[in-house]
Structures are given as C-alpha cells and as structure tokens.
C-alpha cells in the first residue's frame, strides 16, 4: 500500500524539502501545497499565520489523504507548529527542530551560525531550538538570498553567479564578525531557509575551513526517517534498499502539486528547487 | 489656510514620492499611509488590490482630510487607479502616467527603457502609457533592486555598494540587449519603482552616455504642480518663491505617517527614503 506524505510551504521554496523527502522515501506518494496567494507569511501576525497554516494542513490531510505532514516553511514552523498539530490528527514535523538537532550532532564546539530570512531570525526560533540542545547560536538575516535564488543567479561559473558569491561572502563575513564579537567559536552553519540549498555550492566554498554546513531539508528527511524507523507512527513509509534515485520514481503518479495562486511562477521556477520537472500545478482556493 | 495632500503606498517606498512632493509643496500638510500589513500588492488579484487601495484612500480622505491624493505605488497605480477614483471625491494622481509623460518630454528617439518590479512589468502599465504617447518602451523586471535598497547597500563607496553597482550593470546590459534585439534606439530610462530613486547615483553612472533618467517621484511632483497651477482643482497648494528646502519645513506639524503593520521597519528605514527623520508612525487598522 502506498502512503501519502503532505508537504506544506507558504511558497515553493519547500520543494527543496520535498526533493530530500523523495530521495529518502521513494515509495511514498507526495502532495505538496504552496500557499502562494498569501505569502509572505513573515510579515503577518502569529494568529494569522496559524490560521493560514491550519487551513493548508487540513487541505492536505482531508482532501489529499496525507497521513504525515511536513511543514517545509521556516516561518510556519517557527510560529504555527502547535496550531497545525491541533488542527490535524496526523503527525506533523517542522523544519526547525530537525535543523537544530542536526547542528547538535555536528558541532563539537557547541557554537553554531544560522543564516535565515528576516522573519525567521526575528522569531529567534533557531536560537531557541539550539539553546534547548545546549548550543549557542548566532542568527543572521540574509534577505538578498531568496531574491537571488528566484532570479536564477545560482550558477557559480557566470557573472550573475559572481554577484551571488560576493553577497554570500559579505553575509558570512558579517556573521563571523558577530560570532567573534560575542566570543563564539562556531564550527557549524545551519541553512535556515528552504531556498538556501540551491546556494549550497556557493556557501560550501565560502565558509571557513572546518565548518560543517547543515541543510534543513536533509535534516527534515533524516528526522522523518528516524520517526518512521522507530515505528511510533501509523504511517511507516520505509525506504527499500537500493531505492532513492530520481530515475526510479514516476513523477506523474507519485507527486501532486497544489498552489493557491501564481501557478505560473511555481511551474516555471519549481523544477530548479525540486531538481526534476514539476509538471502541472493545480490551483486551489482555501478561502480567506 | 493649509491643505492636506494624502500619499498612499502599499509599503514605504512611496516616501521617495512624498520627499519630492514636500520639496515642491512646502506649505502643504501631508498624510502618508503605508498599507504594510497587506503588502506586497504585486502578488494579489486586481480585485483584491482595488479593495485594499480604496480602503486606504478612504482613510486618507475621510479620517485625515486629504483634499488631493497621490498613489505612490506602481502596482496600485497600474491596477486600481479607477477604483480609487471611484472611492473618493477628491482628485487622484498615480505614478505611471506622470512617468510616461516625463519620458515623452525627454525622449527624441521615441524609444524608452523602463526598470520596474516584476508585478509592474507584468501589468505592462508603463508600456501601455508610453504607447498612448507615441513611445516604444522595453520594460525589465529588476527584482533584486528593492531588497538591495532595503538592505541599505546604497553607498557607492563601499563593498556592499559594489554589489549593487554590479547588479545594476547586469540589468542594464540585459535591458540594452533586449532593446537592440527589437531594433530600438532608446535615449530615456524610466525608474518605474518608488524604491529606485535611492539607486539614482548608481544608475546615472551605469547608463550609456546620452541616456536621460526619469525619476517617477519627481515626475509625479511635476504633474501635481501642473494640475494645481492650471487651477482645475479645489485644492490650490502652490509653492512660494524661495521655499522648498528641507530646513523650512517643521516635520512635526506638516507630516503625519500611518502604517497598517511593521511600524518598526517603517520608522527604521523610512528616513533614508524621505531624506529626513520619519519620527512617529501611527498604527491603523483598515480591517480585512
């Protein structure tokens, strides 16, 4: 029997999380919803975000039969995870706790750097999750990175890629200066935004030697695998040995995509995030 | 007697338009509203934008006594000018028609370049307004420029300013290539976004020799002055000779600022757009 994992984001950056999940769970069905009509969540109040996220989660569970839900959106994970868990009767996994857990496993010094959007940094969700694991974290808002990714300036060997490389160099320089000023000795960098995996080649090249880079998308897939392996859930979607490469999945049957607006942009940009064609995106109306 | 000019934007970029208006009409009172809770307008439907913009216009007219309204927002000007004119009994001026008129006055070849946000370009409002004046226009979406301005990377003599200069160089190169491919001979560049006046030093340096740069904010102030001078309006706010420098205005009495959310960001970034301290921003609730 095939099970459905629901993946929710305010936009389509969460497709990088879906990509990591597909690699890990090639036998699962996936339903992805981007609440594109109401993005960005980052500038909205906690109550509004909780209402939007709960509606989106209910769509994936009630209409699409999701038995497990991944919140592939840092803002919703930071501000609305409880509200989503209250709204649906299935297990819900956010991106922040897995990212912090992966940082805990990776760091020896206990000092961690976090790059994220302005809204995520203002929530201090990563700092809080890190502190709960005995880590000290320095967070930095990097508001140019999402537009650089959406502009497609992500090829390191071009003159547009050179701009992206320089922006990342400046952000990391400022982040390291902040860490030094507070007496930290960081050895781990958390990519705290679902767009950032597309910048990983730049970031890996720009970080100081010895810094481990944690991709939240990979961390979420790892955390989901752990949950399923521990068999604590009614939805044991286990990977089979030898599976997990993109050739083995039929995207027409295994993947369904939904958006509340901007289907055109989703279809156009989504394939870069997912690393395979997105195909048809279905427009849905979740109401106000 | 002192008259009130209402200025409306979805965010606070329109403060560059307010700045130009203050220089032109130093005897007027100004009430500025940023509908920051509901931005960006660019990703929303025309009907939704019209409803938001009409509510905002009514606030400025009914609650703040505005006798003349300037829509300092390209998206609202492109998609909702009619709806705003229907919603309030005072004259309403958008940013797009004045920008196109200034381009008409400036251009000899009749070929014009437009840099704007993605939403404004998709509306083709500038191309339409230019065509109505016998101009051919090539529009280019420059989605990195607003985040660069909001990040404060606007000092040409710094390493962050060097990034901004390179981004602008790339955009202008692509724009010129588009124009050449379509056989155009542009001699005028319209800055079709209220954030872009803060990038004017970069843009003036980067354009080809002989290209005239049109600032929509200045064009709106010019258009308003023309309307008042023609005395077609019940609100004749005329500049006095020798007035118009910033020292002569008492910002505490002449300027009132309102926002629907994010007052902190408005207060923090607004002064750079306005070129003087913004001071207190009052939070208002316009409902859903």
Q: Which of A45, A148, A162 lies nearest to residue B144, judging by beta carbons?
A: A148
> Is A42 a member of any domain?
yes
Note whether A108 and A243 are same-domain residues: no
Mutate to test the interface with B, among A34, A144, A195 (most CBs of B within 10 A): A144
- Looking at the predicted structure, is the pLDDT value of residue B41 above 90? no
Inter-chain contact B166–A170, Cβ cutoff 8 Å?
Answer: no
**Dihedral class, residue B104 (left if φ above 0, else alpha if ψ from -120 to 50, else beta):** alpha
* Structural domain ending residue among the three candidates A187, A216, A245: A216
Low-confidence ranges of chain A (pLDDT < 70): 1-2, 43, 231-253, 288
Note whether B212 and B121 are same-domain residues: yes
Q: Which of A40, A144, A166 lies nearest to residue B148, judging by beta carbons?
A: A144
Residue A36's closest chain B neighbor by CA?
B43
pLDDT at B215: 94
pLDDT at B282: 93
Provide, rounded to the nearest whole percent, the portion of chain B with pLDDT above 70: 91
Note whether B139 and B165 are same-domain residues: yes
pLDDT at B263: 82
Report the alpha-carbon distance of residue A281 to residue A180 in Å, rounded: 46
- Looking at the predicted structure, is the pLDDT value of residue B241 above 60? no
More reliable by pLDDT, A239 or B172: B172
| Residues A117, A146 contacting (CB under 8 angstroms) | yes
Note whether B101 and B211 are same-domain residues: yes
Residue A151's closest chain B neighbor by CA?
B143
Residue A43's closest chain B neighbor by CA?
B37
pLDDT at A2: 67
> Is A248 a member of any domain?
yes
pLDDT at A233: 54
Q: B181 to chain A nearest CA, in Å?
A: 21
Residue A161's closest chain B neighbor by CA?
B167
pLDDT at B222: 93
Range B222-230 average pLDDT: 86
Note whether A105 and A195 are same-domain residues: yes
- Looking at the predicted structure, is the pLDDT value of residue B254 above 90? no
Q: Which of B143, B163, B262 lies nearest to residue A151, judging by beta carbons?
A: B143
Q: How many interchain CB pairs under 8 A, A with B? A: 45
The question of whether B142 is a catalytic residue gets the answer no
Chain A residues with CB-CB distance to B150 below 8 A: 143
pLDDT at B65: 94
Q: Three-state secondary structure along chain A?
A: CCCEEEEEECCCCCHHHHHHHHHHCCCCEEEEEECHHHCCHHHCCHHHHHHHHHHHHHHHHHHCCCCEEEECCHHHHHHHHHHHHHHCCCCEEECHHHHHHHHHHHCCCCEEEEEECHHHHHHCHHHHHHHCCCCEEEEEECCCHHHHHHCCCCCCCCHHHHHHHHHHHHHHHHHHHHHHHCCCCCCEEEEECCCHHHHHHHHHHHCCCCCEEEEHHHHHHHHHHHHHHCCCCCCCCCCCCCCCCHHHCCHHHHEEEEECCCHHHHHHHHHHHHCCCCCCEEECCCCC
Q: Identify the sign of the CA torsion A131, A133, A136, A142.
A: negative
Chain B residues with CB-CB distance to A261 below 8 A: 43-45
Note whether A16 and A90 are same-domain residues: yes
Chain B residues with CB-CB distance to A10 below 8 A: none
Exposed e or buried b for every residue in A68-105, given b needs 16+ CB within 10 A? bbbbbbbbbbbbbbebbbebbebbbbbbbbbbbbbbbe
pLDDT at A119: 85
Q: B152 to chain A nearest CA, in Å?
A: 11
> Is A288 a member of any domain?
no
Question: Which CATH number belongs to the domain containing residue A164 in this structure?
Answer: 3.40.50.1860
Chain B residues with CB-CB distance to A143 below 8 A: 147, 150-151
pLDDT at A235: 45
Our CA dihedral for A273, A275, A281, A285, rounded to 10 degrees, sits at -30
A40-44, B96-100, B113-117, B283-287, range with the lowest pLDDT: A40-44
Q: Which of B43, B151, B170 lies nearest to residue A159, judging by beta carbons?
A: B170
Inter-chain contact B151–A159, Cβ cutoff 8 Å?
Answer: no
pLDDT at A42: 74
CB atoms within 10 A of CB B111: 20
Inter-chain contact B166–A163, Cβ cutoff 8 Å?
Answer: yes
Count structural domains, chain B.
Answer: 2
| Residues B6, B60 contacting (CB under 8 angstroms) | yes
Residue A170's closest chain B neighbor by CA?
B160
Note whether B100 and B90 are same-domain residues: no
The residues of A that are catalytic are 73, 193
pLDDT at A250: 53
Range B17-37 average pLDDT: 92
Report the alpha-carbon distance of residue B84 to residue B78 in Å, rounded: 11
- Looking at the predicted structure, is the pLDDT value of residue B213 above 70? yes
> Is B122 a member of any domain?
yes
Which residues span the domain enclosing A58? 4-94+218-283
pLDDT digits (tens, 9 = 90+) for A193-215: 999 999 999 999 999 999 999 99
Q: What is the pTM of this model?
A: 0.89
């Amino acid at each position: 029997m095939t099970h459905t994992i629901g993946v929710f984001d305010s936009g389509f950056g969460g497709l990088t999380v879906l990509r990591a999940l597909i690699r890990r769970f090639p036998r699962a069905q996936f339903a992805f919803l981007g609440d594109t009509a109401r993005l960005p969540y980052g500038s909205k109040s906690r109550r509004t975000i909780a209402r939007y996220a709960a509606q989106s989660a209910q769509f994936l569970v009630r209409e699409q039969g999701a038995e497990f839900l991944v919140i592939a959106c840092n803002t919703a994970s930071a501000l609305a995870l409880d509200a989503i868990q209250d709204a649906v009767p299935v297990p819900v996994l956010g991106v922040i706790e897995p990212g912090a857990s992966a940082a805990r496993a990776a760091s020896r010094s206990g000092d961690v750097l976090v790059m994220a959007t302005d809204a995520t940094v203002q929530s201090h969700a990563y700092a809080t999750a890190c502190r709960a694991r005995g880590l000290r974290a320095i967070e930095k808002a990097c508001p140019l990175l999402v537009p650089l990714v959406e502009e497609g300036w992500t090829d390191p060997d071009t003159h547009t890629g050179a701009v992206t490389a320089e922006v990342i160099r400046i952000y990391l320089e400022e982040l390291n200066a902040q860490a030094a000023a507070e007496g930290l000795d960081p050895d781990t960098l958390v990519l705290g935004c679902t767009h950032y995996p597309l910048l990983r080649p730049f970031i890996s090249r720009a970080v100081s030697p010895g810094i481990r880079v944690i991709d939240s998308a990979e961390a979420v897939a790892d955390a989901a695998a752990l949950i399923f392996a521990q068999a604590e859930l009614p939805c044991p979607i286990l990977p089979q040995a030898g599976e997990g490469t993109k050739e083995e999945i039929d995207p027409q049957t295994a993947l369904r995509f939904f958006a509340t607006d901007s289907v055109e942009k989703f279809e156009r940009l989504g394939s870069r995030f997912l690393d395979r064609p997105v195909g048809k995106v279905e427009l849905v109306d979740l109401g106000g």
